[in-house]
């Protein structure tokens, strides 16, 4: 592998989801989008420089050329509606490549969508059953040189844990820790050790439960499932009064995937493309993340159209138009 571009800065939880949709947060939102678009351009430039490297097959080269074209046009403009009578701003139109594994801008938008729909489901379920609690759970797998093998091993472990959760509904006598899982939503994170060059996939989950989770017992059960891995982590919500921030802790990993160094990112992309990096089960199963990356608009309100166009220095407001309903 040739020299790789420097990895973008570590993604914060605020990067994943918009800071609400209030007009006061618009400048910060545009700054985040500008940085994401610049990082996408960095990936695109790397592809242009290395598309003919021998490490890529003919099929991969053709795919890189296609992806490069999509990255080039992605997010060149953003059209917002500023509903000035209520102080809200919504993204109304934009062209997105929807290559969220490679494009940080699309990853931000998809992550924000994921947070919103799953948070709504959690709050609805908790409203129906106040005994439901949520915890942050991390499941790991032993490092290895083969990313696909390690990923499939981890994915298989999650599926077996899910089966134990389902079996507990049929067999009330089962008392394992996974029997306490009422539902969950999670994402896979992929890292490569700088020194070891070993791949380290693991997953982060929001788990809904109505009984306390025991980390030591969960570790023992995870080791029983995996055979070579036992490290897990359970943490209570850090913001129980505002769980959106905790849900971001899960969905931000969809953004972090696209923030790896470009060469390693492309290596992981060709191995994991088409594989679900977000997953859910139990009472959160079936919650769908909308494909459309723009926002839901408000009806029957006047608004200002805010047109932002991207240049090398970032997004700038180029046009404003008042629209009456």
325 residues of the chain, pLDDT tens digit each? 434 433 333 333 333 333 468 899 999 999 999 999 999 999 999 999 999 999 999 999 999 999 999 999 999 999 999 999 999 999 999 999 998 888 999 988 988 888 889 989 999 998 899 999 999 999 999 999 999 999 999 999 999 999 999 888 887 777 789 999 999 999 898 888 888 889 999 999 999 999 999 999 999 999 999 999 999 999 998 887 778 878 887 877 655 665 678 888 899 889 988 888 889 999 998 888 888 999 999 999 999 999 999 998 999 999 999 999 8
Nearest to 12 by CA among 41, 38, 36: 36
Compute and round to an integer the Cα radius of gyration of the chain.
21
Closest residue by Cα to residue 147 from 96, 103, 201, 111: 201
Report which of 108, 275, 262, 134 is spatially closest to residue 201, judged by C-alpha positions.
275
User: What separation in angstroms does the CA of 150 have from each of 102, 111, 154, 192, 271?
Assistant: 21, 24, 6, 12, 11
The domains of the chain are located at 13-323
Q: Which residues contact 60 (CB under 8 A, 6 or more apart)?
A: 270
Stated pTM of the model: 0.82
């Amino acid at each position: 592998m040739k020299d790789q571009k420097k990895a973008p800065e570590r993604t914060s939880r605020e990067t994943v989801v918009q800071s609400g949709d209030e007009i006061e947060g618009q400048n910060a939102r545009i700054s985040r989008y500008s940085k994401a678009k610049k990082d996408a351009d960095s990936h695109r430039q790397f592809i242009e420089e290395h598309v003919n490297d021998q490490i890529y097959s003919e099929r991969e080269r053709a795919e890189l050329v296609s992806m490069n074209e999509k990255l080039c046009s992605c997010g060149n403009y953003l059209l917002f509606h500023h509903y000035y009578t209520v102080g809200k701003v919504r993204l109304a139109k934009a062209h997105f490549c929807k290559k969220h594994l490679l494009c940080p801008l699309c990853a931000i938008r998809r992550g924000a969508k994921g947070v919103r729909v799953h948070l709504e489901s959690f709050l609805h379920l908790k409203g129906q059953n106040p005994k439901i609690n949520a915890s942050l759970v991390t499941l790991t797998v032993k490092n290895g040189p083969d990313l696909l093998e390690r990923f499939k091993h981890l994915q298989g472990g999650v599926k077996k844990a899910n089966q134990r959760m389902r079996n507990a509904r049929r067999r009330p006598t089962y008392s394992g820790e996974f029997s306490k899982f009422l539902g969950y939503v999670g994402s896979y994170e992929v890292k490569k050790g700088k020194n070891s060059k070993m791949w380290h996939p693991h997953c982060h989950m929001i788990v809904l439960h109505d009984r306390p989770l025991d980390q030591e017992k969960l570790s023992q059960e995870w080791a029983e499932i995996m055979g070579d891995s036992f490290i897990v982590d359970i943490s209570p919500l850090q913001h129980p009064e505002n769980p959106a921030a905790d849900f971001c802790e899960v969905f931000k990993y969809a953004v972090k995937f696209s923030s790896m160094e470009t060469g390693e990112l492309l290596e992981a992309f060709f191995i994991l493309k088409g594989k679900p990096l977000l997953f859910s089960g139990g009472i959160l199963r079936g919650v769908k993340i909308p494909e459309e990356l723009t926002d839901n608009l408000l009806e029957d309100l006047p608004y200002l159209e805010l047109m932002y166009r991207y240049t090398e220095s970032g997004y700038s407001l180029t046009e404003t138009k008042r629209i009456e309903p």
